Each structure stands twice: as C-alpha cells, then as structure tokens.
Chains A and B, each alone.
Chain A
Amino acid sequence: MMSLNVEKIRAEFPVLHQEVNGKPLVYFDNAATTQKPKSVIDALGNYYKLDNSNIHRGAHTLADRATRYFEDTRTALKAFINAKEDSEIIFTKGTTESINLVASTFGRKFLKQGDEILISTMEHHANIVPWQMLCEESGAVLKVIPIDESGEIIFEEFEKLLSEKTKILAIVHASNALGTINPVKEMIQAAKKQGAKVLLDGAQSTSHLHIDVQELDCDFLCFSAHKLFGPTGLGVLYGKRELLEVMPPYQGGGEMIKEVSFDKTTYNEIPFKFEAGTPNIADVIAFKKAIEFINTLGKDAIKQHEDALLDYAVNALSEIKGFIPVGTARDKVSVVSFNINGMHPFDVGVMLDANGIAVRTGHHCTQPLMQRFGLEGTVRASFSVYNTQTEIDQMVSSVIKIAKIKNK
C-alpha cells in the first residue's frame, strides 16, 4: 500500500492554512465535521456560476445538465457503499434526518404495541430520540444494549436482548464519542435470525471504514456528507429497495408524486418518493467531489494513516500524569476521548484553543453514554487524513502544560 503524501493533501484544504490565537491551526474536530477540499468548494461555486437550474423538470439544457450531475452523485454513492442500485440512495439533510425518516415511515407503519427497538448505550442523540418518539406513539419499547468499561458492546447481553419481539436494531457503526467500532456484521447476522431490520448509523464510519451494504446486509445506512469532506446540511439514507417500496412517503409535495388530483394522489418511484421538494442541488453535486477525493486516496490508505496517528497520540498522551482515557476499545476509529484529572473538559478545551488546537468538549450528543461512565463530558480529539504527527506533538505538549496545573 502506498503511504499518503500528507503535505500534498493539506494543500488541497484552504482552511487549514491559518493561524488561530497566534498559533498555526491544528484541526482535531473532524468527528464533528471534516474540512472541505478545494474541489468541493469549487464545485459549489461552479454550479451556481455555470449550471444552476431546477432538476428533474425543465426541458432545457441547463436543467438537463444539473439533473445529470445531481444523479451522477447518486451513482457515485451507490458505488461508494456498494448498494445494488441508484434508487436505493435517498438524499436527506443528514444522518439525523435519515434516521427520522426511517423512524417515522417504516417505524410508524410496521411497529406496534409491545414490539421492541434495540439500540446501544453509545448512541448519538440522533439515534435515540427518534426511536423514543416512535415508542411513545406506537407503544413499542426501547431496549438498550449495555457496554463495558472499555466502551465495547457486551455481545452476550446483546444476544440476550434479542428476541422475536425485536423489530429494529438501530446501532452506531463507529461511536463519535469513544471511537469504538462495533461488530456490526455479527450483530446484523444475529438480529436477522430474529427477523429484525437493522439500521446502521454510519455518520462516523463512512469516512474511515470500507463499507459494503450488501456484504453487511444492513437494511438501512445513514450518513452525513459534512463528515465526509462534503457540504453541510446534506446526508444519505440507503435502504433496501423492497423496504423503501413498502414504506409510506416521509413528506408530501413536489417531486415525490406521480399524479395529483383532489381525489387521489399517487406517489413517485423510489428514490423520488422520499425526496419531496427542490433538493439541495448544489451540495449534492459538490458531494461527488468529496467522494472522488476519498476514492482517489483509498479508504485503506486513509485508515492506515489515521490508525498511525491514533496510536501515536494515545501512546504520547498516556505518558502524561493526570491523563484519563475514555473509551479504550480494541477496534477504534481515530478518536481519542479523554479527561484531565481534576479539570473540567471545557477548561481543557479553552486552553487548547488558546494554543490553536481545535477539539470538541462536552457530552458529544451522547448524554446517556456519559452517564454510563459517570462523566459530565470529555475532551475529544479526532483525526483525519490531513492531520500529522507534528500536530499531535503540538497537542501533547499543550496537554502536558495543562495537566500540570492540577497534577503536579
């Protein structure tokens, strides 16, 4: 495998080349959102400069071109996750909307009193609240898979919770707060034996891991473009055709209909049935450049680089007196969550920022997970393909200084 030319990659990300508080920016908040390569930024501008038009309707050249580019992204995404066909790719606002779509269409139609929805302790609020809302409405029951001290799912407990009552297993592929990569293949197989449908929250996994929805055999996969070097406010719902077809529409309006009369309206084919209204055309078109960026580097090379950064960071940080790692699963994406003994994560974050280092602090939209560990929050550094060991050195030397305040 070729190792990556990180300097060349960094040159493609304009935002990285700036100072923050008088120090070179070290951007370690990639799990919140990744930065955008120039190709994506240019594609956004070029769309409005050259191609802007509403899609799937006009009979003119611009409309045709915009439609083609829009649908090209769908095709690229199909290949990216190895879906069977383009129409299994639905554009949404993001992971959050994708999960809500499934909960309020599939969920409302097929779940009833006494059915069970299974999630894990490490879910993002986006993969908790929509199911709670569905439970309230349908009388279904939410069950939660426990995790161990290292932040791994306790597989035996998961198996115990599975039964023929389980209708949906909704599980995060890689945890945003801890980095844990869950054994989703095995979990999907076990859930399928009980006849449950499986939704994967791929918000954190799609940027790091090779994803093949057919091999995984998941029913739904949700992810956000902005965590994949793409634009904000755009996401994907992958669903198996046979499920998407029997699910009722999510929203009503233009694009999603076949014919409308005041007596009866018939709905469009998938994926359009789920894409009511004028979509986020510019961002969808630019998203293709982000996928190409990833494909050009290759997921294996990306993962190798990020794993090396993760190892390097964990080793260096672990030497620091007062460093408390949170989440030490064996299999992780490039996320280090930690606390400093005697200090609030917020204070650590502010001090890192004073040194130009951008990390996330707080509960990371995973309050039940924080409660599990008895924590108010953590400091989270998350690495991407454009980060370097030098940047980690910078963070480590700041953390050493900060930790000394309370850990003499």
Chain B
Amino acid sequence: MNSSIKEIQDEIIDEFSILGDDKESTIFYIMELGGKLPEFPEKDRVEENIIKGCQSKVWLTTKEENDQVHFLADSNTDITKGLISLLIRVLSGRKPKEILDADLYFIDKIGMGNIIGSQRSNGLAAMIKQMKLYALAYQTKQNA
C-alpha cells in the first residue's frame, strides 16, 4: 500500500519546513520539483487541456488504471510546474473517492499563499478544482 494522502502531505510539510522562511530558496525548490515532472506529451498541449483560471498556462490530462486516477500536467512557467507537481504527488494514483475527500491542508501549512501571491493562489485553486472534477467524472463512471 502506498503512503496515504495525509502521509504525503506531512512529508511535504517537513520538506518545506527545512527551507524555513527564506522565500528565495523555497521558490528555487519549487522550481526544482517542477523540473522533475514526467515529460508531457506534445500532442496533449492543446486548448482543451488548459486549466481555466490560471495566469500561466497549465495543461492537465488524466488516465485511469486499476480504478485509480493518474494525472499528467505541464506549465509554461517553472514555478507553476512545481506547484502542480506537488498536487500530483499528493493526488495522482488514487481512487476517485480519495481525491474527492482529500483535505489539502499542506497548502496552507507550507505558507503557499505567501510564497506565490494571490494571483497564483487562485490558479492553484483552479488546478485543484479541475483535478477533483476529473475524479468526480471517474467516480460517476465507476459507479454506473
């Protein structure tokens, strides 16, 4: 069994707490995480996959394997890529219900709003919403 959503969030909170208050190193770290996202297929970099409400461009696709939802994402900015990589780390490879029920407290705990500013915070909320919408669609299908 993988770590739970809670365990992964706590792991992330620990990682960020090591960085402390230094905003610059935190941002460098987020960008580094973005660089580790798996390659996003060029063919999926299309308008339909763009998440509305993000200042920077974010593409998100999903697939279902063994009743689990997997996310792939990309962005034209490295910081946004880093942010979405955190969401993917927490939410990808989970059952739809787990995703829908997830309380993503790590975002506040690591002080994300302060790090990324209010415009990007709205973008982050849009990403979470989109991920949950996908989960809802899969759940509806599985229950059908």
Chain A residues in contact with chain B, CB under 8 A?
21-22, 343-344, 346-347, 350-351, 354-355, 376, 405
Partner of A343, one of B22, B27, B28, B78: B78
**Nearest chain-B residue to A351 (Cβ)?**
B27
Chain B residue contacts of A376, Cβ below 8 A: 76
Q: In the bound complex, what is the Cα–Cα distance between A347 and B57 (angstroms)?
A: 13
Distance of B115 from chain A, by nearest CB (Å): 8
Chain B residue contacts of A355, Cβ below 8 A: 24
Chain B residues in contact with chain A, CB under 8 A?
21-24, 26-28, 31, 55-56, 76-79, 116-117
Distance of A397 from chain B, by nearest CB (Å): 12
Q: In the bound complex, what is the Cα–Cα distance between A344 and B57 (angstroms)?
A: 11
Partner of A405, one of B31, B76, B117: B31
**Cβ-defined contact, A347 with B21, below 8 A:** no
**Cβ-defined contact, B21 with A350, below 8 A:** no
Q: In the bound complex, what is the Cα–Cα distance between A351 and B23 (angstroms)?
A: 8
How many inter-chain contacts with C-beta < 8 Å in the A-B complex?
Answer: 33
**Nearest chain-A residue to B55 (Cβ)?**
A346
**New A-B contacts (17) at CB < 8 Å, excluding given A344-B56, A350-B79, A405-B31:** A22-B22, A22-B23, A343-B78, A344-B76, A344-B77, A344-B78, A346-B55, A346-B77, A347-B78, A347-B79, A350-B116, A350-B117, A351-B24, A354-B23, A354-B26, A354-B27, A355-B24
Q: In the bound complex, what is the Cα–Cα distance between A22 and B22 (angstroms)?
A: 8
Distance of B46 from chain A, by nearest CB (Å): 17
**Nearest chain-B residue to A362 (Cβ)?**
B55
Distance of B76 from chain A, by nearest CB (Å): 6
Distance of B27 from chain A, by nearest CB (Å): 6
**Cβ-defined contact, B79 with A346, below 8 A:** yes
Q: In the bound complex, what is the Cα–Cα distance between A350 and B31 (angstroms)?
A: 11
**Nearest chain-A residue to B24 (Cβ)?**
A354
**Cβ-defined contact, B24 with A347, below 8 A:** no
Q: Contacts A22-B21, A376-B76; is A350 near B27 (CB within 8 Å)?
A: yes
Q: Contacts A346-B56, A405-B31; is A21 near B78 (CB within 8 Å)?
A: no
**Nearest chain-B residue to A342 (Cβ)?**
B78
20 contacts between A and B (CB under 8 A): A21-B24, A22-B21, A343-B78, A344-B56, A344-B76, A344-B77, A346-B55, A346-B56, A346-B77, A347-B78, A347-B79, A350-B79, A350-B116, A350-B117, A354-B23, A354-B24, A354-B26, A354-B27, A355-B24, A405-B31
Distance of B140 from chain A, by nearest CB (Å): 36
Chain B residue contacts of A354, Cβ below 8 A: 23-24, 26-27
Interface core residue of B31, B56, B76 (most chain A CB under 10 Å) = B31
